[in-house]
Structures are given as C-alpha cells and as structure tokens.
Amino acid sequence: MQKIFDAHFHIIERPFSINARKVPPRKSYLVGRYLKECHSLPLDFVGGAVVSSAFHGDDQWYLMGILPQLGKRYVGITQIPNTFTDDEIMALDEMGIRGIRFDLSRVGKNSLTEIETLANRVYSLAKWSTEFYSPGSQVDPELETLILKLPKVSVYFPNTVCLSLIRLRQYLAHGVRLKVTGLSHAVNQKNQMKIVLPLLYRENPQGLMFGTELPETQADNCFSMADIYRIQEALSYDSEAVDNVLYRNAQKWYFKTI
C-alpha cells in the first residue's frame, strides 16, 4: 500500500480569529472527518502537516487542540507575530509546531524585514521552516530574493505543475521545497504534468512534497486517488521517486530525527 505524508491540509474549526480577513465557505472540517476520509482510501497515511489558515489568524488555540487528536506523526504550521518571545516559540515546538506560514497575498514590502527576522529566529531556535502561500503565479521580485536566501523554506502555489518551469526549477536549485498540491485543479493539464513533474524531480529529488490540500476551500474539486495515479504515471512508476514525492521528502523535512 502506498505511503502518504500529507504535507498540506487544513482542519476547519470555529471560532475563527477576530482578526481573520476571510471566513471559509465550508462551515467545519474536523479531525475525525479528515481521518475518516484518509482511512477510506487504499493508502497508508504515515503523518502530515496541518496548516493554520488565514481565518485562524495568530490564535494558537487552533493547533493546540488539533495536534493531540492527530497524534505524534503529525506536525503543525502556524502563524505568529514578530512579538512572540523565544520561550513562546519553544513552547510551540514542544507542542509539535514545525514551521511558520505567510500568505503572500497579504505581505507588503514593508514587512520583508520582519519576515526575514522572524524566519531566521525560528530556524535558529528550533530549526523551523518558513512556508509561503502564493495564490497567484507571480511573486514580487524583492520577496522572491528573500525566499531564496532564507535558511529553510517551502512554497505552496495552487496547481504547482502549471507554473513557470524556469521559476520552479530556480526555487528547487536553491534548496526551496515545493508543495505538490492542487492536482485536482489541473485535470486539463495532465500532459503538462507528465513533462513538468519529472523535470522538477530531477532538479532536486528531495524538493517536492505532496499534500492533499483537504478540505479544499477554494475550488470545487478535492483530492482523490486520481491525484496519486497522476503522480505515479508522471514519474514513470519509479518507486523511489514516487515514495520521495508522496511521503519520504516531507517526512524528513518536518521530523528532525528521520
């Protein structure tokens, strides 16, 4: 049975942050439902990274309640302000947090120094990653320069395989990890994925990390077994490559002892 480390998914619980700029269209998506959907598939989910979303803001209650339900094979990616103390960051690390997240649609140029300071601080303290979400295909050049020089970075673009191959290969060449998600959005680009995915994998075999993106709040199509089959086919059923993309890369990225 194919192993999966789900490098990008969300759990939706109320109440949402009072500072949230948007509220998800789906009322709730709880841990029990996520695990039930995963276990209903002929896949072996060996862990994952649950990602705090814009509607959770900086409230840490969200992951505090969710991670114990998911278990020790799962980690959290959170959003914290620059004012968090070192002790507060280490307390989150003890809880299972392994990274911070920024939504690039909400990042202004005035924030670049703050992002760099916080990203370097959480890496120095706890070896956390810094994760960037870009809803579009374009990234501000100054921000892109920052992304390429930070110590441990992953980037998530919806429908990754349909973006500029040159830019994606540049990220991978600099050690930036790319989350392979949103494949359900790319049904009409199946042939493109067959070309792009192997090229990206050859650029950096450790650089691609698969995520289901469940429950998918931005599109009608959700993760299904078809996504797994597309990856296996694109990688010519090479078991090592498939395992790296579907579970091994992300597992090593998030767990310090693996």
One-letter identity of residue 88: E
DSSP string, 169-237: HHHHHTT-EEEE--GGGGGGGHHHHHHHHHHHHHH-TTSEEE---TT-SSSS----HHHHHHHHHHTTT
Q: Which residue has the higher pLDDT, 240 or 61?
A: 240
Predicted local distance difference test score (pLDDT) of residue 18: 46
Decide: residue 217, CB within 10 A, 0-12 exposed, 13-18 middle, 19+ buried.
middle
pLDDT of 59 > 80? The answer is no
Q: Report residue 254: phi and psi, to 5°.
A: -95, -25
Residue 228, CA atoms < 13 Å, CB-side half-sphere: 19
The pLDDT mean for the chain works out to 85
State the pLDDT confidence band at 34, using cuts at 50, 70 and 90: very high
Cα 20 from Cα 246, distance rounded (Å): 32
78-116 pLDDT per residue, tens: 999 899 999 999 999 999 999 999 987 766 555 889 999
Q: Which residue has the higher pLDDT, 188 or 35?
A: 35
pLDDT of 250 > 90? The answer is yes
Token code pair at residue 257: 């002892």
The stretch 160-168 carries a mean pLDDT of 71
| Alpha helical stretches, state H, the chain | 31-39, 61-70, 86-95, 112-126, 141-149, 165-173, 190-203, 225-234, 239-243, 249-254
State the pLDDT confidence band at 190, using cuts at 50, 70 and 90: low
Q: Report residue 71: phi and psi, to 5°.
A: 105, 175
pLDDT of 24 > 60? The answer is no
The stretch 2-8 carries a mean pLDDT of 97
Predicted local distance difference test score (pLDDT) of residue 91: 95
Cα 178 from Cα 199, distance rounded (Å): 13
User: Taking the alpha carbons of 146, 148, 150, 154 in that order, is the dihedral positive or negative?
Assistant: positive
State the pLDDT confidence band at 218, using cuts at 50, 70 and 90: low
pLDDT of 200 > 80? The answer is yes
Query: For residue 221, how many other CB atoms are within 10 A of its CB?
Result: 14
* CATH number of the domain encompassing residue 23: 3.20.20.140
Predicted local distance difference test score (pLDDT) of residue 60: 79
Which structural domain range is residue 188 located in? Answer: 2-254
Q: Which helix (H) or strand (E) holds 50?
A: strand 43-51
Q: Which residue has the higher pLDDT, 55 or 208?
A: 208
Q: Which residue has the higher pLDDT, 37 or 21?
A: 37
Cα 231 from Cα 22, distance rounded (Å): 32
pLDDT of 20 > 90? The answer is no
**Total of domains in the chain:** 1
125-163 pLDDT per residue, tens: 999 999 998 776 667 788 889 999 999 999 987 666 556
Cα 254 from Cα 51, distance rounded (Å): 13
Predicted local distance difference test score (pLDDT) of residue 22: 54
Predicted local distance difference test score (pLDDT) of residue 217: 60
pLDDT of 54 > 80? The answer is no
Global confidence as pTM: 0.90
Cα 99 from Cα 119, distance rounded (Å): 9
State the pLDDT confidence band at 57, using cuts at 50, 70 and 90: confident
Q: Which residue has the higher pLDDT, 136 or 245?
A: 245
Cα 58 from Cα 46, distance rounded (Å): 28
